[in-house]
Structure 1
């Protein structure tokens, strides 16, 4: 297991900066909006939430939405400049917050100078070799998942590996602590295996997470030399099991999840910049706390997507601009946030506090104690320690005994030597006796 020791305590607040600050993601208006200064203004908010790290979406110069990069060494002018980045890093350091950057290294934007060199026949420009020929692609170049504006890099070219390693080291030198590797699932693992040793030689404490949606997560980690990958299986299973009131689906997924803990600790979440928000996805709002209880009691490195801590809604759609609803602008400062969502905010704070007081949950495995379709009791266990979690999706109370210890979160009462969880309720109790 490669992950740095500090990740054992990491809980991320995930922000998509271009949307968060109100920038025009179409690229038509390049004027700065709130910029990284606005993100900096929310660091105390992240601390009050309980986060120990800030996971940023793309901050580098791009044509539009950030994933169509123009210059990996330049802060997007819509977000500011190097000085704004330095101030963000310094302010994060003052608050004990780590910073993760989003590395878009599978492809670049069509307006990237390297693409221009290739299409312009600039053979003397070494970047002209960075791309893969594809007769079916626009201008004869391979593109990412049919998006003509995203030109795929040639990951068999040693020059591309050298470039990516240099970019990663550059921003770690500037104060970043971690990288999310966008679309890592589309990149051959041997590419990461070539790049990451160079990065770790300069920054052995860097944390590297790959975006992997499906497939063999453990193989992606070990073959590529990553520290972790995004746990999309668990994300999907949580909301699907709650909607269908089929907790057997959840425990099946948790079994797979636990098996991966032998090789790595997954990067866990119930929302991000690419998916419909949890509050919109769940058919019964009473079950939002159940999703969070799972997120913060099973093994993993949890992340909270900005706005989810306030139960914000947002539907992702497969159309131009279809991500806008899940990447909204926030006010200039936290004091201007609308008053709604306080119950969800307190719930997040309580469960994050629970997680931080029991940091061993980072590698906890699940042992099912009792289960039906609509009711689940499990122990989260690691190294001789345990918490018991009760999830009730039923219209009737969940009664389970004996009582393992004090109720630490949720709603439950002790009755006749058993714990009674109300209909559609949940609870976390102390160490199992």
Structure 2
């Protein structure tokens, strides 16, 4: 892992939604990437050090049905717009990570059209995986991504596909990107990733590359493929589920698993992204947003904030056509046009991101249980002989919780720090309170 990534905090954008692009490509180029540029100062003020972008390459609809990996989606702009985004991001100290959709392509991908036109024995057809028989349109049945007819799976045993994906990754890293998110990485053979990433890293040794892996053997995937990390969906689920159910034992179980992952790699951590219901909608009580964020910003990992979550945007993902629209809305022309009720949550994010940035060693911090009940917990987050404490109270009454070694409140609602007769330290948290505490004298 490279030095810059150790202190990275990402602001995650789904570009086509963010800029208000139409759902299908029409004639002409629309220079909308500049809309993202207009929000870079907002991201910096939030505390982000990098942008994690969703798909930006030419596609038919939502960006994940790619038709040309070497061309910017005309709904977003062109190469000049990309160069401008990279330049403006760099000027503000922001790295840019791109979304690589390399498991599948759209049906308008030129080589797939050629495969349909020229037959299954053609060179173009070797890029895809024949299933035998016919599909619903009467054409030859090719493998798809999880049954989606519009998403045709690539043949990752093909040397042509290997060379193509390698060249795409190198091309955009050459143009100024700092890394890649590998979409649906779990659906691709591990030897394929190993081969591609070995080649890419020879040319770009400092690129940060992580895979989308929803469940399964995270450690095994990292070892077999050579990615820097994977998406930590286990922790995402445990955070909101444990808080909603007032069952912090579930979160403790996930944190123990997370400690194990940190021995091998640094996961990409999050409490929201472009594929899941917004945190403010997922939580049954909005007061718990702070509890979820306190965990995210103190636990080991590479934290990412999904654009809008820092303003308590709401949106529910639905399993239907257009079911992602609510969680991928357009942003106004400038931050000043955001609704006023979201800014307290933005300032909460600034406060906790500030704690994270002042304690960069947290990237590899493991949690240690200090106190645990179903509704109250204290964890020590530890790395490099350094410790901070995180305390949560999910009850509606005050709680006095042990806080060994606590010296100062870094963030949160601890009403007081008191020293008991036995010389142990305790804190008083109000109902639904939380606190992040330093164990060092300020």
**Distance in 2 between residues matched to 1:202 and 1:47, nearest whole Å:** 29
* 1:401-431 C-alpha deviation (Å, 9 max, x unpaired): 4561101100012264221011111001112
Aligned residue pairs, count = 430
**Alignment correspondent of 1:346:** 347
**Distance in 2 between residues matched to 1:150 and 1:137, nearest whole Å:** 16
Coordinate RMSD, CA, aligned: 1.5
Q: Using the TM superposition, give the Cα deviation of residue 125 of structure 1 relative to its aligned residue in structure 2, in angstroms.
A: 6.8
Q: Using the TM superposition, give the Cα deviation of residue 340 of structure 1 relative to its aligned residue in structure 2, in angstroms.
A: 2.4
**Alignment correspondent of 2:152:** 151
Larger CA deviation: 406-415 vs 244-253? 406-415
**Distance in 2 between residues matched to 1:282 and 1:42, nearest whole Å:** 27
**Alignment map for 1:329-368 (pairs within 5 Å):** 329-368=330-369
Q: Using the TM superposition, give the Cα deviation of residue 97 of structure 1 relative to its aligned residue in structure 2, in angstroms.
A: 0.3
**Alignment correspondent of 1:21:** 19
**Alignment correspondent of 2:433:** 425
Unaligned runs of 5+ in 2: 420-425
**Alignment correspondent of 1:91:** 88
**Alignment correspondent of 1:409:** 411
**Alignment correspondent of 2:224:** 223
Q: Check whether the contact 1:32–1:80 (CA below 8 A) recurs between aligned residues.
A: yes
**Distance in 2 between residues matched to 1:61 and 1:45, nearest whole Å:** 27
**Distance in 1 between residues matched to 2:31 and 2:78, nearest whole Å:** 12
**Alignment correspondent of 1:11:** 9
Q: Using the TM superposition, give the Cα deviation of residue 395 of structure 1 relative to its aligned residue in structure 2, in angstroms.
A: 2.0
Could you state the TM-score of these two structures normalised by the residue count of structure 1? 0.97
Q: Check whether the contact 2:352–2:411 (CA below 8 A) recurs between aligned residues.
A: yes
**Distance in 1 between residues matched to 2:405 and 2:357, nearest whole Å:** 23
Does 2:43 align with 1:46?
Answer: yes
Does 2:328 align with 1:327?
Answer: yes
**Alignment correspondent of 1:68:** 65
**Alignment correspondent of 1:274:** 275
* 1:315-369 C-alpha deviation (Å, 9 max, x unpaired): 0000000000000000122232222201100000000010000000000000000
Q: Check whether the contact 1:22–1:33 (CA below 8 A) recurs between aligned residues.
A: no
Change (3 A) 1:119 1:53: same
**Distance in 2 between residues matched to 1:32 and 1:327, nearest whole Å:** 21
**Alignment map for 1:125-144 (pairs within 5 Å):** 126-135=123-132, 138=135, 139=139, 140-144=141-145
Q: Check whether the contact 2:405–2:439 (CA below 8 A) recurs between aligned residues.
A: no
Q: Check whether the contact 1:24–1:30 (CA below 8 A) recurs between aligned residues.
A: no
Q: Using the TM superposition, give the Cα deviation of residue 30 of structure 1 relative to its aligned residue in structure 2, in angstroms.
A: 5.4
**Alignment map for 1:197-216 (pairs within 5 Å):** 197-216=198-217
**Distance in 2 between residues matched to 1:201 and 1:28, nearest whole Å:** 36
Unaligned runs of 5+ in 1: none
Q: Using the TM superposition, give the Cα deviation of residue 372 of structure 1 relative to its aligned residue in structure 2, in angstroms.
A: 0.4
**Alignment map for 1:361-400 (pairs within 5 Å):** 361-400=362-401
* 1:44-97 C-alpha deviation (Å, 9 max, x unpaired): 111000000001000000000000000000000000000000000000110110
Q: Check whether the contact 2:65–2:150 (CA below 8 A) recurs between aligned residues.
A: yes
* 1:114-165 C-alpha deviation (Å, 9 max, x unpaired): 1011111168974331000013673311111111000000001111011000
**Distance in 2 between residues matched to 1:307 and 1:136, nearest whole Å:** 45
**Distance in 2 between residues matched to 1:365 and 1:241, nearest whole Å:** 19
**Distance in 1 between residues matched to 2:305 and 2:113, nearest whole Å:** 38
Change (3 A) 1:59 1:364: same
